Amino acid sequence: MREIAKECDILAGSVYYHFKSKDEIITEILNLGIERVTDSVVTALAQIEGNASFRNCLHAAVRAHLQAFHVYGDYTATHLRNFKQAPPDVQLACKKARDDYENIWIGILERGRKDRALLPDIDLGLQRLLLIGSMNWTLEWFHPQGKYTLDELADSVVRMFMDGCAVRAEAD
């Protein structure tokens, strides 16, 4: 609380005029994090043409998700890093926003299946969690100014999810 107050050039006690408790601050930060990444993905999807392929939609969503915490998003990065460690009632207060965001991804992948762009025999729930996991874990190692650009990262994520890395038998 003292550090937060200092950043605002006030003293610790004064923060309690704006927020009832530390947990209320955390709740607001975590919810802002989900709102930002939701906005980022929704906006990206709205900007592509109506007849874009599933692959292009997926690519736009992946890029927007990654951008949300690597380029703009302190709130989103904080959400990803700290949600699991937050107190139970704080986690509960984020549930709706998290579910809404999850449903966006469920919708994206379901569309892929409907378009026959995704294999019919895979578990979309499991694949979705692995896809999002591969993106979220980039918080641990990716730096936008480093060896790879964010666009290269997004390309690789889509490519691994869609095509994999294996050499296919030529007789396929």
Partner DNA sequence: GTCTATAGGATGATAGAC
Partner DNA sequence: GTCTATCATCCTATAGAC
**DSSP secondary structure, 36-104, as one string:** HHHHHHHHHHHHS-TT--HHHHHHHHHHHHHHIIIII-HHHHHHHHHGGGS-HHHHHHTHHHHHHHHHH
User: Binding partner of residue 43 among its own copies, DNA, none, CB under 5 to 8 Å per kind?
Assistant: none
> Taking a C-beta distance cutoff of 8 angstroms, is the pair 118, 112 a contact?
yes
- The distance of closest approach from Cβ of residue 6 to its own copies in the complex, given in angstroms and rounded to an integer, is 21
Give 37 or 118: the residue with its C-beta nearer to its own copies. 118
107 sits near DNA (criterion: CB under 7 A): no
Distances (CA, A) of 107 to 98, 128, 133, 135, 140: 14, 11, 17, 18, 27
**Residue 168 one-letter amino acid:** R
28 sits near DNA (criterion: CB under 7 A): no
Encoded one letter per residue, x for contact with its own copies by CB under 8 A and - for no contact, window 39-58 reads: ----------------x---
Continuous segment of H or E residues that includes residue 2: helix 2-7
111 sits near its own copies (criterion: CB under 8 A): no
87 sits near DNA (criterion: CB under 7 A): no
How crowded is residue 100: how many other Cβ atoms within 10 Å of its Cβ? 12
User: Binding partner of residue 122 among its own copies, DNA, none, CB under 5 to 8 Å per kind?
Assistant: its own copies
Instruction: Catalog residues that contact its own copies under the rule CB under 8 A.
Output: 55, 81, 84-85, 116-119, 122-123, 125-127, 129-138, 140-142, 147-148, 152-153, 156-157, 159-168, 172
- Contacts to DNA by CB under 7 A: 1-3, 5, 8-14, 16-18, 20-23
